[in-house]
Structure 1
Amino acid sequence: MSPHKRTTWLQWIQRIAAVLFIPVVAAATLLVYYQNGEESISPQIWKMNVKPGMTASLTLPDSTIVYLNSGSSLSYPSFFSGKKREVALSGEAYFQVTPNANKKFIVSTPHQSRIEVLGTCFNIEAYEQDNEITTTLIKGKVNFLYNQNDSTRQIALSPSQKLIYTPETNKVKLTKTTGISETAWKENKIIFDNTPLEEILHIVGKTYNVEFIIKNKNLKKRKFTGCFNNQPLERVLEHFKRSSTIRWKYIQDEEYKNEKERIEIY
């Protein structure tokens, strides 16, 4: 059996261990304090980690549903106190936020940016190691906030809009999208429609926890269309081989120590 093929039993073991919950509590205890003469309890902070190559979902204390993509983490309180509901994301997540006009929902992301909503459905891709943060709005309304020249800038998104923010340059780009490709991952699907190869391999790399090395830089802008529903990695890559001159191979390098397998595209 090829070492690169996923086996059913291994998938089940991986999925059992795919999600780690880590309680983060100040002084390792619940803090009890007094407010207006009444005893109050501060919330615990929980952190959900999803292993590379896996996805997971959870329901927050306010009934908001969150889907987490490969290699993502979400920190959130055991209950929402005060006038806002705030969570911290590193990675990619799809949110179905429970409406509450009196308590704004805030998603903090790397690079001093955040999303503010009252109730809506949207996708965020904000991996700390990436040089872009992407927000896709499916339904409702969100505000994207980021720091620029010691001040906070705010951009409002409408449904079917996609925002791409580059922290290094503070550039923001807005485009139209159906959102189908951006949110397919939560159903274990990969969908691309006239999409550049470089962008496709970014999605495939997250899904299967592999790293791609593109030897021929001219291939990066080649565009493809396809839909895969929980298919083996090799079948996805064969799609490019059948429909173009693109070839691929696993890179065997014993000196390279990383949990990700590497694949050369040429």
Structure 2
Amino acid sequence: MNKYIDNDKELARLLALFLQNKAHPEEIKEMLALIREAGGEDAWNHFLAGNAHLPHPEETPLLPVKTKLIHSAFFQIGMILILHVCFCFYLYRNVSISSSDKPAMTVVKKSKTDTYISLPDSSSIILEAGSTLAYPEEFSGRLREVELKGRAYFTISPNAASPFLIHAADGLTITVLGTRLDVKAYKGEKEITVTVQSGKVRVEGGQRVLGVLTANNQIKVNTNTYAFTTKVISANETIEWLGKDLLFRDKPLQSITDLFAKRFNVHFVFQPTELAHINVTSSFDGTESLKEIVDTLSEIISVSYSINGNEVVFTQL
């Protein structure tokens, strides 16, 4: 990177000399060489093809400073073109350097199964299979922002000083102050649906506020026109998708924990291994945390448990 910075300084010096008609032909040759280095071989050849009248670095003769060539209008126009191209290369390289130095700040989760995601602010999300969520590794600044393509159930930690924004498909933004809500926003669909289970949210689209929703309110927005309808609804019925496949009747404990292992990205251990074969009858609505689920299962089969990072251990009493 130091090489690029040094080259930029030298190029700026040479350009300043040229603009004052004080550049020696050898300096012009060096300036052209730096332009070539900045743009790469392909860009340089493309530039020469369109400006054949300009001198090539290897072909530039050593001439006195005051020559008709330098003072000719034709050459001056050519040099202005060089300055323009050089400036573009300068911007391009500096943007490239800053981009490559900048660490990746976004985590993108695309779920194959319903997946539980814990955000940096302790908010949680259950992402429906096939959906995608993008969010920063850390929330900084005044806003907490995520991007959703698909469907997810949000439990947002309250923070009046830092509103939580969900950017859905087709320019729709949902502002949350601390609540539980369901957002269905698949890319390509004609309608986005937001249902609030508790708290309050504001829905915006087409540069205007479409609605402010409270518990058991739902809004459906046309993604093309931003026309919308609102209605009162039982939010618990809307989020039934969270509990699909979570009704168990006489199922081996391991078959149940296998499902939650995928959802929470954890590994279950049974001590002794025979615990895995105990049949369990239970049901969950899908909004529970890992601890709440493990609490319930441990009570049913009368065992103790521990959670260490991504490992959950059931131990016989």
Normalising by structure 1, report the TM-score.
Answer: 0.53
- What does residue range 88-107 of structure 1 map to in structure 2 within 5 Å? 88-107=147-166
Counterpart-to-counterpart distance in 1, 2:120 and 2:101: 20
> Whose Rg is larger?
2
Counterpart-to-counterpart distance in 2, 1:80 and 1:100: 12
Q: 1:62 aligns with which of 108, 118, 121?
A: 121
Secondary structure of residue in 2 paired with 1:111: helix
- What does residue range 23-172 of structure 1 map to in structure 2 within 5 Å? 27=99, 30-31=102-103, 44-51=105-112, 54-147=113-206, 151-172=207-228
Q: 1:179 aligns with which of 231, 235, 243?
A: 235
Would you say the 8 A contact 2:210–2:228 is kept in 1? no
Normalising by structure 2, report the TM-score.
Answer: 0.45
Q: Which has the higher strand share?
A: 1
Counterpart-to-counterpart distance in 1, 2:245 and 2:190: 24
**Partner amino acid for 2:120?**
P
**Partner amino acid for 1:173?**
T
Match of 1:201 in 2: none
Q: Give the alignment's Cα RMSD to 1 decimal.
A: 2.2
Counterpart-to-counterpart distance in 2, 1:100 and 1:189: 33
**Partner amino acid for 1:109?**
A
1:156 to partner: Cα distance: 0.3
1:169 to partner: Cα distance: 2.9
Would you say the 8 A contact 2:202–2:209 is kept in 1? no
Q: What do the CA deviations read for 1:224-261 (whole angstroms, capped 9, x no partner)?
A: xxxxx89xxxxxxxxxxxxxxxxxxxxxxxxxxxxxxx
Greater RCO (Cα-Cα under 8 Å, separation 6 or more): 1
Counterpart-to-counterpart distance in 2, 1:142 and 1:168: 22
**Partner amino acid for 2:160?**
A
Would you say the 8 A contact 2:145–2:167 is kept in 1? yes
User: Which structure 2 segments of 5+ residues have no match?
Assistant: 1-97, 247-282, 285-317
Would you say the 8 A contact 2:107–2:136 is kept in 1? yes
**Partner amino acid for 2:211?**
I
1:80 to partner: Cα distance: 0.3
**Partner amino acid for 2:108?**
K
Q: What do the CA deviations read for 1:141-181 (whole angstroms, capped 9, x no partner)?
A: 0000000xxx3234101210111001223211111111122
Counterpart-to-counterpart distance in 2, 1:80 and 1:28: 21
Would you say the 8 A contact 2:196–2:218 is kept in 1? yes
**Partner amino acid for 2:121?**
D
User: Which structure 1 segments of 5+ residues have no match?
Assistant: 1-25, 32-42, 191-228, 231-266
Counterpart-to-counterpart distance in 1, 2:131 and 2:181: 16
Match of 1:188 in 2: 244
